Homo-oligomer: A and B are copies of this chain.
Amino acid sequence: MDKGKLLAVARGDEPADLVLRGGRVVNVFSGEIETAAIAIVDGLIAGVGDDYTGREVIDLAGAFVAPGLIDAHVHIESSLCIPAQFAQAVVPHGVTTVVTDPHEIANVAGMDGLRFMAQSSAGLPLSVVVMASSCVPATHMETSGATLTATELAQLLAEGTVYGLAEVMNFPGVVNGDPTVLAKLAAFADRPCDGHAPALTGKQLNAYVASGIGSEHECTTVAEAREKLARGLYILVREATNAHNLHALLPMIDAHNDRRICFCTDDRIPSDLIDQGTIDYMVREAIRFGIPPITALRMATLNTTEWFGLHDRGAIAPGRRADLLVCASLEELRPRLVFAGGRLVAEDGVMCDAALAPAVALPPAVSATVNVRWDAVDLRIPAIGRTVRVIGSLPNQLVTEARILPATVEAGYAVADPARDVLKMAVIERHTGSGAQGLGFIQGIGLRRGAMAGTVAHDHHNLVVIGADDASMLTAARAVVAMGGGLAVAEGDVVHASLPLPVAGLMSDRPIAEVRASYDALIAAAQALGSPLHDPFMAMSFMALEVIPTLKLTDQGLVDVSQFAIVPLFVD
């Protein structure tokens, strides 16, 4: 960037690249709206004032201009799309920066995965700030594709791949001073370190904060959020597909604490991104609740830049990035125009052609991640007892129940019994081709026949399969592996629906609208097989997550999370 040129345009001695004239400019510093021209050069705002000349001039005719919105914490992988396609969904909603934790791909492809996310985000109309995933793997009770040590995270920081430390989910490790956790925090001592400590309170919370972690996005109640804010954490209010905290937390916001509150989406599936929106939706809802519009916008802009120290954006001011949205109404906040780095990138909810990203070449580290040793796969469960532990999946919850039920036995094998809503579940190791597999039973998914399978299975993303019979399960599993990862629904030897996710088995590189349609078709297929769930694939994706109670299944076997130990399938 030529600072001399920037200053010359600011002084009015040289014409700007672009002048936005006649807009009502949202000033997040003063809290006021001012009618002013915005002069832009080389992607930066040079000046804000009553007169500038430019090679291009756009008359905003009284429309509002606000800083581009910022998502303070999002796992892009949850959109099932690579960053370029994720951007297609969020930029038209006015989001110009996201802070992302590439935690999912990190568990599959480690440092190469993080580097892929950073490299494939370069040059997008969306600024992607990559944080270093801090808890890879989550535990040692499942096989992951990678392990990230403090040394490796420090290397990612030194090479400029990452900006800070992503959510430190191992909160017991933090609170108790686990040296491996403290080493990671020490490596990021001068950088923003995001937190994740659901329901932590009192002295335990003091310890968590004293460690140097500075934010929290897991609050679910006003009391929890108020305590965490008072102890010094920025509160990143979350509105995810599978965790709706916004409306519960809006009542906490007041004029004394609002500067310490930001907005984030954490995890959103394509249909939510496309239909409902993202941070723009949160701003709209906050205003509808009664938060003053500029206060709501600050939570989506300036506050977030202050938490992360991203002082090059988040406000319409000289020297900052020309990331802007133009809209007719702040209350409605439907961006008519979106500018990223001074470039018009979306108009009336549609990306501009010029903003479309080039195709991304996939390195082998992320394109060849599904390695199943088929000769070791055997879904049969010899009936060595009479009662089994069964995962009790609950609607819209990540927490499961640990149930103990009589096994249904056929020809010496314990089998699925759809009549009792007992399905078989398998988690097949898919990173190293070790042949490890865990087998168990699950209630609450509701398939009456057929099977579903996928390589999206938090946090380690092995191949998970749930079905009413072994043949359908194998068909679904083989379909997923044949796609190099993805999701599939099968019945017998027929695949009813599938969505290839060739990028680490987590993401598609196809347009997000196409991904969304395929995903809708998958859900419909699973529902046609009997599942009553709104989204059986999302439910399945958390059934291997052995850090959330109570009973989960990994490739190492059944995990009793309350004991933090592998337990046998058969009770007696």
Please list the residues of chain A having a beta carbon within 8 angstroms of any beta carbon in chain B. 3-4, 6-8, 10-12, 27, 29-32, 34, 39, 44-49, 174-177, 182, 185-186, 202-204, 206-207, 209-212, 214, 226, 229-232, 254-257, 259-260, 294, 306, 309, 311, 315, 317-320
Which chain B residues lie closer than 8 Å to A259 at the CB level? 259
By beta carbon, the residue of chain B nearest A185 is: B3
Contacting pair A318 B10 (CB below 8 A): no
CB-defined A-B contacts under 8 Å, sample of 17: A3-B177, A3-B211, A7-B177, A7-B211, A11-B204, A12-B203, A29-B257, A30-B229, A31-B254, A31-B255, A31-B257, A206-B318, A209-B317, A210-B319, A211-B319, A214-B311, A256-B294
On whether the beta carbons of B231 and A48 are closer than 8 Å, the reply is yes
What is the chain B residue whose CB lies nearest that of A179? B4
- Chain B residues positioned under 8 Å from A48 (CB to CB): 206, 230-231
- Using CB atoms, name the residue of chain B closest to A227: B30
Known interface pairs A11-B207, A31-B257; 11 further A-B residue pairs with C-beta atoms within 8 A, sorted by A's residue number: A10-B206, A10-B209, A11-B176, A29-B229, A29-B230, A29-B231, A30-B230, A206-B318, A214-B311, A232-B317, A256-B294
Beta-carbon nearest neighbor of A259 in chain B: B259
Contact at B8–A177, with CB atoms within 8 Å?
yes
CB distance from A383 to the nearest CB of B (A): 47
Which residue of the partner chain, among B4, B47, B185, B320, contacts A203 with CB atoms under 8 Å? B47
The answer to whether B320 touches A49, judged by C-beta atoms less than 8 angstroms apart, is no
**A interface majority secondary structure:** mixed
B3 adjacent to A317 (CB under 8 Å):
no
**B207, B211, B212, B309: which contacts A309 (Cβ < 8 A)?**
B309
Q: Which residues of B contact A209 (CB under 8 A)?
A: 10, 317-319
* Chain B residues closer than 8 Å to A32, beta-carbon distance: 230, 256
Q: Are B256 and A210 in contact (CB under 8 A)?
A: no
**A44 / chain B contacts, CB cutoff of 8 Å:** 210
Tell me whether A10 and B207 are in contact (CB under 8 A).
Answer: yes
Chain B residues near A254 (CB, 8 Å)? 31
Return chain B residues, CB-CB under 8 Å to A4. Answer: 177, 182
B318 with A231: CB separation less than 8 A: yes
What chain B residues lie within 8 Å of A10 (beta carbons)?
203, 206-207, 209-210
Q: Within the complex, what minimum Cβ distance (angstroms) separates A13 from chain B? A: 9
The list of the 8 closest CB pairs from A to B, nearest first, reads A31-B256, A47-B206, A232-B317, A210-B318, A10-B207, A210-B319, A209-B318, A10-B206
